[in-house]
Amino acid sequence: MQSTALLLVDIQNDFIPGGSLAVPQGDTIVKVNNQLQQHFNLVVATQDWHPSGHISFASEHANHKVFESIKIDGIDQTLWPEHCVQNSWGADFHPDLNTQKVEAIFRKGTNPKIDSYSAFFDNAHLKSTGLTGYLKEKGVKHIYFTGLAADICVYFSIKDALQEGFKCTLIEDATKALDQNIYEKQKHELSALGVQYVTSDKFTLV
């Protein structure tokens, strides 16, 4: 039975230097992610996949700026640069990312009216991506996380994975944060919840 899976979160052009919402040094994780895949029988990826005019884009809100936080239907929403628009270059996986072992791709952020950071649910937990059911049907109990950005989509994916009953490990040199200070605070929070942190050079399946 397949008990572990590698989840590649949003390794897309817009989150890489040169993209519209670039994560510092985001390009440095691609090679590590390629190397890690050989250790797993099951590799799954997510893809931010926004329609044009998505509600999370600052350009959709007059008199508001990029990275400003507002309330939309009672939910805190950071306003982002336009990014990962469906069928655009920015939404494509980084060209050097090996996707041959990726068995399934789960797209998120497709509803124009609500943002979706987590690989499992939108930000209001109104709609599931189906990832939980997919992994559980495969017998997965332990998810190893990589990807971008560590403090946003990876963080919220791990939080939801814990709620869904999965054991979670973050491979630190296979992810990068948009805000390193926020990431360090989150690391303390997630460690207290049982999340493990490893690096690829010491990588062993457990």
Active-site amino acid positions: 10, 108, 153
Question: Exposure of 117 by Cβ count < 10 A (0-12 exposed, 13-18 middle, 19+ buried)?
Answer: buried
- Cα three-residue angle 17-66-53, rounded to 5 degrees: 90
Residue type, position 141, single letter: K
Instruction: Return d(Cα 153, Cα 49) in angstroms, integer.
Output: 13
Structure tokens at 35: 């190397």
CB neighbour burial string for 6-31, b if at least 16 within 10 angstroms, e if fewer: bbbbbbbbbbbeebbbbbeebbebbe
Instruction: Return d(Cα 18, Cα 13) in angstroms, integer.
Output: 8
